[in-house]
Amino acid sequence: MNFFRESDLKTKQVLEGITLRAVSGEKTMMTFFEFEPNAVIPSHKHPHEQITYIIEGEIEFTVEGETKILRAGGGVVIYSNQVHGAKILDKPTKAVDAWYPIRDDYK
């Protein structure tokens, strides 16, 4: 698939209040996340590099013990195996993530 529309991608619920749509090439992946207010992403780590960009809303993001509130236009780079987690604040929130390598669990 060379061309896509976000709205045509299959929706997958990954946690309570958190859904994603994914598109991938041979080696990279992009996910479009939608978060309900107060949704939580528990602390975790994975071998994938992740770049998160906030489209709308606010996320309290913690990476390796450092916490920042990210708003639309902000983002974070998470390197392989860094411990991270997040809490969505009081607004619906949308974010885009880039991944390397591809996350098979998000397909």
Output the DSSP codes for 51-107: EEEEEESEEEEEETTEEEEEETT-EEEE-TT--EEEEE-SS-EEEEEEEES--GGG-
pLDDT in tens, 34-90: 999 999 999 999 999 999 999 999 999 999 999 999 999 999 999 999 999 999 999
Q: Which domains does the chain have, with CATH numbers?
A: 6-106 (2.60.120.10)
| Tokens representing residue 62 in the block | 């913690």
DSSP conformation class of 22? E
User: pTM of this prediction?
Assistant: 0.94
